[in-house]
Structure 1
Amino acid sequence: MILAVFLVLIALCLVLEAWSRTAAPKALSATVTADKRLLEQGVPFHLNYTLENTGSLPRFDVHINQYTPSSLVPEGSAEAPFTAERVFDWRTPIGPKRKHTVRIEVTGLSRGRYRIPVCSLYQGDFLGLLETPVTRVLSIGELVICPRPLSDSPDLSSALGGFFGDLSVRRFLYQDPVLFIGCQEYTGQEPMKQIAWSRSARGQGLMVREMDHTATYRVSVIFDVQVRTGVFEKELFETACRMVRSVLEFLENKGTAYAFATNARCAGAITDSRYVPEGIGERHFLSILELLGRADGHCSFSGEDLMDAALYRQGGRVGIICCTLKESDDTVRRFVSKASLSASTVLILSAVDYLSDEEEKAS
């Protein structure tokens, strides 16, 4: 009797083994997603691995593995299904018409664009002797980690505050036609330069131009990554990206509309454009942060061409904030001279001035 039961069990195992080897893997699929595709440096996020069985029969052994970039560090790795080589490795059975999801908390240590390889999905047999690859896998493709802002930097805040002070003085000295909203009668208290002589000549008495001094300033931010002397320094470039983000946050908090342009090569960008038209708000801010996250340190064209293009696009904007790695040659000085001819106020920010502060705070 015992022998008969034993033989029946063996036969059943062989039948299940034969079935599991011939079962079509089309019912299995896997999807890899992230909470967001634009992430903050050093802030944990989740990678979501979802396994789905749309068939009417169970799968006894399903295996998923995937290599992850070394800069993406899993949190609580003792419990997460990661090997020492940063390979996500997950085995599980799954019933019919079921879906399983595992969420792994991961932290991006470094700014940059990371390609997430497509994970491998295998269907194992009943006895665990053979694995059949499954091709129905969807992956997020890439993640972009944007730079952190600079640590509390009084020097940068002071420089930006002085820049806006210069804009206020220039607005008083040189009337901006963009701010003109109409005319009013001369009261004797307005300066002579505000008299609208063409309107006064119509016989209505002396009229003065009325300006909207409550209008916010409009500026351009340019990020020049050209290395003119010496060799490329990664830490200096990372500090420059953080400095640019701090500038953008300052403008957002001040409610100042701004345009952005850079000559940095942006890896994997959908378009080759590195110019973001004037705007303000979260979407505008995040679109520029993505460019900073994708910047790989290579220069696409010269800083002089970048600065000339900024002057060409200047339009009604009266201020230019030029962020560079090092203020080291005549290119920047020529740019300042050209900008002064167009009545634009220029602020030059060099990342090398903030590099030592960041290194001290990091240590």
Structure 2
Amino acid sequence: MEILAFIIIVLAVIGMQSLIFGKLAFKNLIYKCEFSVKEAHEGDEIFLVETVENRKVLPVPWLKANIYTSRWLDFAGARSVVNQESRYATSSFVLKSYQKIIRRWKVKCLKRGIYNIDTSTLVSGDLLSFRTNSMPVKVGATLKVYPAVVDFEQYFIPINYLQGERIVRRWIIDDPFIVSGAREYTPRDPMNRIHWRATAKEGRLMVRNNDYTSRLSLTVMLNIQSIENEYYNTIDKELVEYGIKVAASIFDSSLMSGAPVRFATNGTTIDDDGKMVFTEEAAGREHVSMLMEILAKLELKRVKDFQDFLSWMEGKIRNCDVIIITCYLTDAICEHVRELERLDNRISILLLKEPEGAKVPEDMNIYVLSTDSEKDYAVQA
């Protein structure tokens, strides 16, 4: 009888604790999950901060918080599970009466994008885990990861000088009203820049060598296609991602120089419902931050073929410096570039891949990504 009574008492205690802990585990329990910053860049290390507070006398014997986010936010190491584009991690706690615990996960931002943690799922139960309950908790944590800034001028070289000559520093924007000397004429120079006095003196055609300024406007065009016949999603995503980094670097340079800048692409952002990007021209930190956010939201899929996009751009920009970032060139693209040049735009083309067997036009400013940089972006990917 004593053994039976003991068994009954034990079962009663187990049942009672299961009822109490199972029912009251989430009562007066506060859970928060947030990023330590609102904005970051690719490669940055930040923190994901979890805060759990038990605001009652009854302790919580065990608590698990299930966190769902993007695979491109690298944290939790072996304790996280990566599946395609998502990452799943579990955080475990034991809370005494009226105890508050703050846990910080070190997070490395692997890729640009807008990342959200909408909800986390809390799981708890009794001491022996005979009874478990779960509860979703609204988190609402958002992180903007901007593209990394690269020293792109170090890696792009004039396509006619693939034997090692490097592109000169600060070639992007020069000022036709500030003359710092003369140099020999090249087929790329317009006739209105010929320096006749220097030509007569040297006995050969010379042009004005313009100095640099931050007052000219700049338009950056990005081709989201990696090959010509690409009808929807970008195929070579890593190469175009490097082009996005180059665009971010140009915007960063424009901020330091104070140059007005705008951005245009035949792609779209995740929240723009298939509409191509064509921003207003402006300068300043607020405008550049807006451009960086557009780059963070940019989807790797085209809205319009790039040559049709260039045709659409004709007449929309005049009298400005234009930088075209693209993976390839075609005869049709080159013709549209010439049309833009006839509108007094000075155009430079940054080729992300060396053309294979194609004849490169000699009347255009074309720079190609060097082999060293290709290795760099391959390692980053």
Q: How does 1:98-109 map to 2 (within 5 A)?
A: 98-109=99-110
Structure 1 Cα separation of the partners of residues 273 and 99 of structure 2: 36
Secondary structure in 2 aligned to 1:136? strand
User: Displacement, 1:223?
Assistant: 1.5
Distance 1:111 1:349 in 2: 21
Q: Which amino acid aligns with 1:244?
A: A
Q: Which amino acid aligns with 2:223?
A: D
1:57-72 correspondence to structure 2 within 5 Å? 57-72=58-73
Aligned with 2:288 (options 270, 285, 289): 285
Q: Judge conservation of contact 1:167–1:319 (CA < 8 Å) in 2.
A: no
Residue 328 in structure 1 maps to residue 337 in structure 2:
no
Contact 2:266 2:304 in 1 (8 A): yes
Instruction: Indicate conservation of the 8 Å contact 1:257/1:280, yes or no.
Output: yes
Which protein shows a greater Rg? 1
Of all paired residues, the percent bearing the same amino acid is 20
Distance (Å, rounded) in 2 between the aligned partners of 1:56 and 1:310 = 67
| Partner Cα separation in structure 2 for residue 215 and residue 249 of structure 1 | 13
Q: Superposed, which structure 2 residues align to 1:31-180 within 5 Å?
A: 31-55=32-56, 57-74=58-75, 77=77, 82-83=79-80, 87-114=88-115, 116=117, 118-140=119-141, 143-151=143-151, 153-154=153-154, 156=156, 158=167, 161-165=170-174, 167-168=176-177
Contact persistence 2:174–2:216 (CA under 8 A): no
* Cα distance in 2 for residues equivalent to 1:161 and 1:214: 10
Q: 1:61 to 1:105 in 2, by over 3 A?
A: same
Deviations 1:250-275, CA, capped at 9 Å, x for gaps:
22222211111222232246995623
* Distance in 2 of aligned mates of 1:155 and 1:121: 49
Over aligned residue pairs, what C-alpha RMSD do you find? Answer: 3.8
CA drift of 1:348 comes to: 1.8
Which residue type is aligned with residue 92 of structure 2? R
After superposition, give the CA deviation of every residue in 1:282-341 in whole Å (9 maximum; x if it has no partner).
Answer: 3322222222222232011232454355444436x522222222223322x233322233
Deviation at 1:215, TM superposition (A): 7.8
Alignment pair present for 1:265 and 2:268:
yes
Aligned residues of 2:268 and 2:276 also touching (Cα < 8 A):
no
- Tell me if structure 2 keeps the 8 A contact 1:28–1:136: no
Could you say if the C-alpha distance between residues 246 and 88 of structure 1 is closer, same or farther in structure 2, counting changes exceeding 3 Å? same
The structure with the largest helix share of the pair is 1
Runs of 4+ in structure 1 off by over 6 angstroms are 3-10
Partner of 2:244: 241
Larger relative contact order (Cα-Cα within 8 Å, sequence gap ≥ 6): 1
**Per-residue deviation, 1:6:** 11
Cα deviations across residues 57-77 of structure 1 (Å, max 9, x unaligned)? 4333222122443332227x4
Looking at structure 2, the residues matched to 136 and 164 of structure 1 have their Cα atoms a distance apart, in angstroms, of 51
2:42 touches 2:148 (CA, 8 Å); kept in 1? yes
Moved more, 13-22 or 345-354: 13-22
Query: Can you list the C-alpha shifts for 1:79-114, whole angstroms capped at 9, x where unaligned?
Result: xxx246564222223345544221100112233444
Q: Secondary structure in 1 aligned to 2:350?
A: strand
| Equivalent AA in structure 1 for residue 94 of structure 2 | P
* 3-state SS, counterpart of residue 336 of structure 2: helix
1:208-233 per-position Cα deviation (integer Å, ceiling 9, x unaligned): xxxxx988112222212235525621
Amino acid at match of 1:51: V
User: Which amino acid letter does the alignment assign opposite residue 132 of structure 1?
Assistant: N
Q: What residue in structure 2 maps to residue 350 of structure 1?
A: 351
What CA distance in whole angstroms lies between the structure 2 residues aligned with 1:45 and 1:150?
20
Separation in 2 of the partners of 1:106 and 1:242? 21
Q: Can you list the C-alpha shifts for 1:38-66, whole angstroms capped at 9, x where unaligned?
A: 32112111111222334564333222122
Secondary structure (helix, strand or coil) at the match of 2:16 reads helix
Shift of 1:146: 2.6
CA distance in structure 1 between the partners assigned to 2:315 and 2:124 by the alignment: 60
Q: Secondary structure at the match of 1:161?
A: coil
Alpha-carbon distance in structure 2 between the residues aligned to 1:49 and 1:24: 18
Given that 2:220 and 2:324 are in contact with CA atoms closer than 8 Å, whether structure 1 keeps it comes out as yes
Which secondary structure state, in structure 1, belongs to the residue aligned with residue 71 of structure 2? coil
In structure 2, the CA distance between the partners of 1:280 and 1:52, relative to structure 1 (3 Å rule), is farther
Q: Is the contact made by 2:54 and 2:97 (CA closer than 8 Å) also made in structure 1?
A: yes
Q: 2:375 aligns with which of 352, 360, 363?
A: 360
Could you tell me the TM-score, scaled by structure 1's length?
0.72
Whether the 8 Å contact between 1:147 and 1:245 is mirrored in structure 2 is yes
Q: Please report the TM-score for the alignment, with normalisation by the length of structure 2.
A: 0.69
Q: Is the 8 A contact 2:65 2:91 kept in 1?
A: yes
Task: Give 1:216's aligned residue.
Answer: 215
Q: Secondary structure at the match of 1:278?
A: coil
Q: Provide the rounded CA distance (Å) in 1 between the counterparts of 2:118 and 2:290.
A: 24
Contact 2:81–2:89 at 8 Å: present in 1 too? no
- The separation in 1 between residues aligned to 2:172 and 2:15, in whole angstroms, is 80
Amino acid at match of 1:21: G
